[in-house]
Amino acid sequence: KQEVTQIPAALSVPEGENLVLNCSFTDSAIYNLQWFRQDPGKGLTSLLLIQSSQREQTSGRLNASLDKSSGRSTLYIAASQPGDSATYLCAVRTGTYKYIFGTGTRLKVLA
Amino acid sequence: GAGVSQSPRYKVAKRGQDVALRCDPISGHVSLFWYQQALGQGPEFLTYFQNEAQLDKSGLPSDRFFAERPEGSVSTLKIQRTQQEDSAVYLCASSTSSGNTIYFGEGSWLTVV
């Protein structure tokens, strides 16, 4: 059974720091991996999607990497800003449609 | 519509009441998902539709939970005889048939008292 773990569960950093969020999964047979952002009281917004054949994806200050064989992904956020404060969730797609989510990392960026 | 729309946004139900949660997916999206998110947890899969066909309902926690999508667009998640453990956010998401990105609604927050 696929399990997704995110470390750390919570993180507080001063503005301007570069930071790394970690995601690990137990079954390497995945179709893709997505990183989502969730603001309090809101739904999920997709940030980056990495196909199983890809190693990384970049969007602005965000970079996500995927090492399928070791069951790991990282989300790198450069020059963090208070507006980055949110919960970040990773999810792996198993089979043709189902996503399995981690429990998330709650990020707080202090001004 | 422009995004996935869910209603009601907030619902307080007395234990034992039936509730119905509605999801209006992005126009033209074939795939529709329901997820349940407890406080401080990640979303957990409930069920999946492709058009009007419910292809997977393996995540529904009990036979009190029922979902339908009769015309292949709007979907309703119904919970009968609600219990306190049903309190959660119910998220709906949709995607195109070949799409990898799924688009989430803002959720229906259910509190059972």
Nearest to A88 by CA among A27, A50, A44: A44
| B25-50 burial: b if 16+ Cβ within 10 Å, else e | bbeebbbbbbbbbeeeebbebbbbbb
Distance CA A78, CA B17 (A): 48
B9 within 8 A of B108, measured Cβ to Cβ:
yes
Mean pLDDT within B18-25 = 98
Q: What was the pLDDT predicted at A95?
A: 79
Position B96 confidence tier, pLDDT thresholds 50, 70, 90? confident
Position B98 confidence tier, pLDDT thresholds 50, 70, 90? low
Distance CA B47, CA B58 (A): 7
When CB atoms are compared, the residue of A42, A44, A97 closest to B48 is A97
pLDDT digits (tens, 9 = 90+) for A9-64: 999 999 999 999 999 999 999 999 999 999 988 889 999 999 999 999 999 999 99
Q: What was the pLDDT predicted at A74?
A: 97
Q: Is the pLDDT of residue B86 over 90?
A: yes
Cβ contacts of residue B25 below 8 Å, gap of 6+?
Answer: B4, B32, B73, B74, B75, B92, B94
Residue in chain B lying closest to A40 (CA): B106
Distance CA A60, CA A83 (A): 14
Contact B43 A46 (CB under 8 A): no
Chain A residue numbers touching B45 (CB-CB < 8 A): 98-100
Which residues does B contribute to its contact with A (CB < 8 Å)? Answer: 4, 31, 33, 35, 40-45, 48, 50, 55-56, 91, 93, 100-107, 109
Distance CA A99, CA A32 (A): 9
Task: Give me chain B's average pLDDT, please.
Answer: 94
Query: Which amino acid, A71?
Result: G
Q: Is the pLDDT of residue B1 over 70?
A: no
